[in-house]
Amino acid sequence: MSRPHPLTVMKEWEWSRTWDEQQEIVDQSRAGGGAWLPNVVETRQWGAVRWTSGRPAHASESGQAVPETFAVLRPGLDDPVLRERLPEVLRDPPPLFQVAGIGARRHQLLGAAPGAVVGAALLGVLIGVLGLGAVGVVVGVLLGLVLGAVGGAAVAQYLHDRDRSAVLKDGERVRVVTGRYAPTSWARLVEATTGLERASAGSDGPDDQAAEAVQTALWEAAGLLLSSSDHTGVEVLADGMERLAQAHRG
């Protein structure tokens, strides 16, 4: 396969393996993928990148994938819990199976189980109180199981989305850039920072000054992209980071 994407710090074998794993998931999934896109979340020193591809076989063979989401952490932020949480909320595991053409995920099933129990108990008791007989109670329990499961899954999905949004929309600590809407200057900036990280892969990492410059540049660039349609500032930051990367290579 071709070399890894210029925006990733993964080695060629790591890149190939990750996309092969995604292809295996699609092949083995009873849900047939559905609307789910194969994805890999790459943790970076400055945050995380979520890669996706609608064609996992091609991605595995060619190394081509889309850097869909960039999540940048605020410079100087010392929050190990957030650093651990960030990749989790960016990941999108495949559905375990489909129900009526809708993919069912693990967190939904965890919510559906107690919801079904509660729904069956409540509706069964209600039917019993109304005196509709044993048959009515059985029908009520079955109906409660279905309604409770649906309600429990819906609540679980709501809580899942709320927790995810709480992390990704925390503008004071995290800034999120959508790759397909970002200008080329953003890609240049990330590629330059990637070069710095690759160059330091065999050492203890970039020096503190370079690491701080990378974090600050990405944070400021993300802020400019999210607040303005003028990308001049991002281009200036990209130019500066490219010079820094070149100096480290030299």
Assigned token pair, 203: 């050492």
| Same domain, yes or no: 121 and 239 | no
Which tokens sit at 47? 């945050």
Same domain for 72 and 179, yes or no, is: yes
> Do residues 151 and 201 both lie within one domain?
no
- Could you give the CA distance from residue 211 to residue 201 in angstroms, rounded to a whole number? 13
What is the predicted pLDDT for the residue at 148? Answer: 80
Predicted pLDDT of residue 29: 60
How many structural domains are present in the chain? 2
**pLDDT at residue 31, rounded to an integer:** 46
Same domain flag for 184 and 214: yes
The pLDDT score that the predictor gives to residue 1 is 41
Mean pLDDT, 10 residues at a time, the chain of 250 residues: 72 81 70 66 92 64 76 91 91 73 72 81 78 75 81 84 87 91 92 84 63 90 90 91 78
Residue 118 lies in a domain: yes
Residue 2 lies in a domain: no
177 with 146, same domain? Answer: no
Which domain, by its residues, includes 112? Answer: 97-167
Q: Does residue 44 belong to any structural domain of this protein? A: yes
Residue 68 maps to a domain = yes
* Domain final residue pick, 167, 199, 215: 167
pLDDT of 249: 67
Q: Which of 131, 148, 167 is the last residue of a domain?
A: 167
CB–CB of 140/129 below 8 Å?
no
Q: Let me know whether 68 and 178 are in one domain.
A: yes
Do residues 23 and 133 both lie within one domain? Answer: no
Do 108 and 144 share a domain, yes or no? yes
Q: CA 201 to CA 208: how far, in whole Å?
A: 15
Classify residue 58: in a domain, yes or no: yes
Q: Are residues 140 and 155 in the same domain?
A: yes
Indicate if 179 and 66 belong to the same structural domain.
yes
